[in-house]
A and B are shown apart, each in its own frame.
Chain A
């Protein structure tokens, strides 16, 4: 199987603390009466790409939203268990959620650039932190757009509306917007599902190149994509973590019957 970057394979079941970016322990989550995540425990390795796969509605989005507490926005959401990022439990009540979200960036399924200029989009997070120095912002915009492989295409129209960009460009702009905050972790929720194959490939390459700088967790419905880009893959079924291993193992020799059924397409 083609890999863009080769490196030693870790055993995700026995990761050391230094190798762990996110440690989830006994996470349970409910929306009202609906139990969505059941007792999930896992360690997500640093500077690697980990993908979450599973049937629609199994709780993938909900799980990655736990990593930056986006679920807090749903009024009837309750959860327990712990999630350790950078050595502290982010599920604590007094966690500074705004700060956490600058540390853990998120990109959504549909590109959602703000109705502002490209420049202002990238600066949004920095400005929220009170950064107003023009030189610093200019540099940050250039660097983030370069990191997101968008600079060459937009450098002459930074002050035009972000809505003139194509879907793929918009998605890269949204990634640049998240990267501007220099996050440790980047959460991508089906980032390519609205894009054509070529643009998808482009974003996949981008992810591979970002691996050096941050930990990436990606939700995808595309088995090939998961196998292609991710180092590790977790399979979720009805809110339970069924199998979690390095992608080569999971896609070639799955341990569980459910996993095999899903990756060979016997589930929907």
Chain B
């Protein structure tokens, strides 16, 4: 690919758009665009620069591809609507940041699937890039369009837009895909030969090789090269995988603008609503020494003022106290803060409160999820009211004056008492916070309650059940608004219309792609942005496709029948998810296998992997 830089056409547009820094590249640690590389990849995040820049998976993959001999890697983001309008007016295609080259000129375009609401942005990005929307319409001169990320665990709603979809963890998989594609291109293989070869890689799903089979009700392979099920890829020894310590340092505020060190992967707490808890199993921890080295090297290489020790449940790390102690010592006197993305209630005692406090008190978030013990048992959130009250008490004793509590409404089995329970629990937590602070500071005690609408997700014990109706969600929100919360508590709730769409898309089958395409053609983009989301566009699109959005969101699947994502295996057995669904209905909880014995979800046997704790057995 010779220099195809579009910069001379892009630069004059910058003074007419919001936040031109989104498009300028040249941040510290960004890769140099390499003219000499014989294979070029761009990693595309289907949202703006600020949202995608610090995406952890992209940071990891960027570093891995950059280190491959003869390969170059760049980043692309979807420009904001003002820039897109100008680009379309001037016929400027979607470009990469590093070399400002057209996205369509790369060998491989790797697109992240962060969540369902990014679906129309994917179409917008492909269209702006000049790449045919459907995989079957692409020719030999088009790039290979690969997807990956949490959204791949039910890929069907967007499957037809991709040539291949990577299921599971990408560290090893991306290298295999790049090496194979590069070799085949060099040999002059055509597109079909390339896709056939890629489908032989474990964890790669080539959607056009599968079709719906009336008899089995499943998607069945249509070619010999395609496996009947695609099993997720997993990194067995996380500690052996280098932590990216030189990520790009943005010039402007972006989401998660800090150094992130992933301290463990997976979570076996077993919350029944949580897709991440199922698809990233089992727990694999990095060692304290590895983590401390990564913090030291990462801060030296980036200069960030905060390091976040990330994972699905960071306080669960078997060496968390030691890690926080050593990190605080290392960073003492540097004004660099240490934060944890969210705090497990039952693991947040006096010591943890002091260790997280450090020099800076970053935000503190607790997630009881439900207002009553009965409902917390249904969802297997094994924390109690006293866990919450004591965690809040310790936090405010240690100096915090504000914290956030997360709840969900619309959970299976929820009654009006559970809604009132949210208010009761928040009030009790607020009083515990007031008790913890000196009299003269009580006026400064604040708490916020954030309420999300439950969206049933594939690959979870609640995958068979539909979302409650929009009108009922609205009634329950009203009920919560009317319940008496203390003055110092702010209540926030997610837009129920957004959650309705999320639910309609999340458990959809291949036919859902028509709805997505119709909505995009009707003008939907940036659906995850409140100011851009327009339910009417989606309702129109649904009408034109002959479907009912509410019916899609609330459909129940037969527990003994096929599911649209049956061919995608995350390792957790379907039978186990069903047993968990039955336990939920009976209000029976299931223990965390990292603390107690194996509960036979199947992932360790299926993927030949084991729970890997860095310290002592947590139980």
Are A and B bound to each other?
A: no
* B binding-site residues for A, Cβ under 8 Å: none
Binding site for B on A (CB under 8 A): none
